[in-house]
Amino acid sequence: LRIPILERAEKVFKELGLPITPRLAGTSSIDFAVAGASKTTAVHWILENTEKLKGISLNKDQLLADSSLIEVWGDKYSTINGGTDRHICEGLPKDVRAIDFRQEEPSELPTGYNIQFWDGQKHLHHGLLEYLQSR
């Protein structure tokens, strides 16, 4: 069902001249993103926004020098099945820890990144809650 919706959305956005790109997301959803923007560009924007970082007592040099200051949480890192959370990793040093709260096929994950599978009892958003409560 998502494919016809995605195709129709692409057609409508093109006809209206809207710079919106529909993408398959998760197992039952569609993401609508501004063309040219991604989670990678958002991470780069944050790292370059010195005022925002200063507001949380950090700076880009600190974050890039100490990867333990950053942790990525997501549920779709697959390079095959539309995983957009991997794009967060692409904007950061490869040793930044990323936790995958979905049970994905390890061979579908991007290589060289510190992506770890959550081994708790629950997964997806319930897994994130379980993780946060365990800290």
Q: Edge-to-edge, what's the strand order for the sheet holding 97-100?
A: 71-74, 97-100, 114-117
What is residue 26's predicted lDDT score, i.e. its pLDDT? Answer: 64
Instruction: Report the alpha-carbon distance of residue 28 to residue 9 in Å, rounded.
Output: 16
The answer to whether residues 4 and 11 touch, using CB atoms and an 8 Å cutoff, is: no
Supply the mean pLDDT for the chain.
91
Planar angle of CA 133, 113, 29, nearest 5 degrees: 65
Residue 70 pLDDT: 93
The gap between the terminal CA atoms of the chain, to the nearest Å, is 39
**32-63 tens-digit pLDDT:** 888 888 889 989 999 999 998 999 898 899 98
Lowest mean pLDDT among 1-5, 8-12, 82-86: 82-86
Q: Would the pLDDT of 95 be above 90?
A: yes
What predicted TM-score, i.e. pTM, was given to this entire model? 0.77
